[in-house]
Structure 1
């Protein structure tokens, strides 16, 4: 066997290194480009007894902390930061709820509508289609209240024609009376945009049924009084057999502040003392009864439970279920 001494090995190694340095550089393997788009979950479905519940997202909202908590804005930002939530601006989900009782298809709240408020919302119709439904399938739209992000989605971008051709509209008589008042623009702040709300209520009026809080609007779907956020604000109790859940409306809007400090005024509450009382009563009920809660503005899909913690409460999100 030919034996190479150390000097020969070094010379051979140097030759290989030099040849490699002179050789053209091999191209790097291509990497996938960054997409840059975010796919927001559009719908989420599960069963509550024999009732099928589908959360259909209308997108998201964003506001400065000052808009949402006024003089408490600095405290709110601190609490949001400590719980790893965005605070500049503050983001809110829009979770409309579709209830299929087998006899009725009931949509609870209708979102903002397309091209009416912020470019991150107005997604209801597209996500409704993804969930397997068309606007004409909806038998009823129940409004928890008449703020823009709950009502405006019933009409087109010009607030000139309705988008749900077969739907009956159901709302609190107190709520509709308040928002229909001709003197309303001088009584509420411009951020409430009362004229657009009045235009949508006028469109809905031929098919609008007025109720009192406490009415059962469809089998297993019953409203209850949580006025304060608006004069006729209602939350919703849904039951099927031994299973039940509570829908918040705008009683709570954030997983930290609404629960740890339910006494803090929310910027869109029209009657702060009454809204605070309603918020605490709702949280007390949910915690005492251990009832599943569905929320309109909490992180999608917005389901969880409420537990008491110290002088406040804590939100425990429910795990996603992949079977139905």
Structure 2
């Protein structure tokens, strides 16, 4: 009898000890601090659309938006956000079946270690940089063009690069770089170095204004954020996607008050007018929208109420 009781006691102690050891082991596990690869895929008619995340960057939007700081902070708080705002940098890959087209390339090494993840996420999504046929740039700010080059070489060796001639004439101008104030020179230097491999190999082909660029993809002028800021319209089987670049940066503010501009705009009045025009069209048509700085994957629809908008993110989908 004593031996049986002793045996039960030993088993109980072993179970308790094992449980404590298991708990201790779980508690000592380090935080992983990584997320899943940043890509999201859906179909637009017969075309495959892949949103690619280049990472995030903290922006002091309370100081950048052209409205009182306290007003921005209050709007952010209403959305459970705060400044600086962790802001996504997104690009979009379109497979038409005949062409593999990339819209923007992320920041590369121009903006520090929290960005520059596009090539890794492109590979994780099942594609290689060498497969990209054409790259269309919404505008030549560093977080959209920095990924073009790696160690002074073309990161996309087989791609032809396209952007509006107005942006090229402004950002790729040595004269504009030379006369720019010291705190503005970096923008020109980033654009010039990013495009240099493609200019040298004659793989940079600019366009003028609104035009059909490849079958199913058109440029649509959305000037103001930069001199040649461009929206790209993708259409397949009656479905439409507007890739709007930097028409919006802070949804918590600029959806309710689309008249609010940001310090990055080269022409604030023109930028606000472009946002109003294109947002109104997107809402009226029910077109899908892809935005560079709406939280990843940056795809959704706009609904207009009065002079304000609601953002309706796409439903998560697994292609099958």
Which TM-score band (shorter chain)? 0.7 to 0.9
How far 1:29 sits from its partner (Å)? 4.5
Is residue 276 of structure 1 aligned with residue 272 of structure 2?
yes
2:126 to 113, 128, 132: 132
2:74 to 40, 65, 78: 78
| Partner-residue secondary structure (3-state), 1:93 | strand
Q: Is the contact between residue 43 and residue 131 of structure 1 (CA under 8 Å) also seen in structure 2?
A: yes
How far 1:62 sits from its partner (Å)? 1.2
| Partner-residue secondary structure (3-state), 1:183 | helix
TM-score by length of 2: 0.88
How far 1:34 sits from its partner (Å)? 4.4
Q: Is the contact between residue 256 and residue 314 of structure 1 (CA under 8 Å) also seen in structure 2?
A: no
CA offsets 1:73-129 (integer angstroms, 9 cap, x no match)? 3221210111112x221121111100011111000000001x331211100111111
| Partner-residue secondary structure (3-state), 1:178 | helix
How far 1:244 sits from its partner (Å)? 1.2
1:89 to 84, 88, 91: 84
Distance 1:257 1:71, change over 3 A: closer
2:295 to 290, 294, 299: 299
Is residue 167 of structure 1 aligned with residue 137 of structure 2?
no
Is residue 143 of structure 1 aligned with residue 137 of structure 2?
yes
Q: Give the superposed CA RMSD.
A: 2.2
CA offsets 1:190-220 (integer angstroms, 9 cap, x no match)? 2552212122223221211110121112211
Structure 2 unaligned segments of length 5 or more: list them.
1-8
Q: Distance in 1 between matches of 2:250 and 2:62?
A: 14
Instruction: Give the 5 Å matches for 1:131-280.
Output: 131-156=125-150, 158=151, 160-185=152-177, 186-187=179-180, 190=183, 193-205=187-199, 206-280=202-276
Q: Distance in 2 between matches of 1:240 and 1:252?
A: 25
CA offsets 1:43-89 (integer angstroms, 9 cap, x no match)? 1111111111111111111111245315533221210111112x221
Distance 1:105 1:222, change over 3 A: same
Q: Distance in 2 between matches of 1:183 and 1:174?
A: 15
Q: Is the contact between residue 62 and residue 83 of structure 2 (CA under 8 Å) also seen in structure 1?
A: no
Distance 1:51 1:26, change over 3 A: closer
TM-score by length of 1: 0.87
Q: Distance in 1 between matches of 2:15 and 2:193?
A: 68
Q: Distance in 2 between matches of 1:282 and 1:53?
A: 21
Is residue 116 of structure 1 aligned with residue 100 of structure 2?
no
Which residue does the alignment assign to 1:13?
Answer: none
Q: Is the contact between residue 49 and residue 242 of structure 1 (CA under 8 Å) also seen in structure 2?
A: yes
Task: Single out whichever of 170-179 and 245-254 deviates more from structure 2.
Answer: 245-254
Which residue does the alignment assign to 1:106?
Answer: 101
CA offsets 1:16-54 (integer angstroms, 9 cap, x no match)? xxx9xxx99943142322424131441111111111111
Q: Is the contact between residue 51 and residue 99 of structure 1 (CA under 8 Å) also seen in structure 2?
A: yes
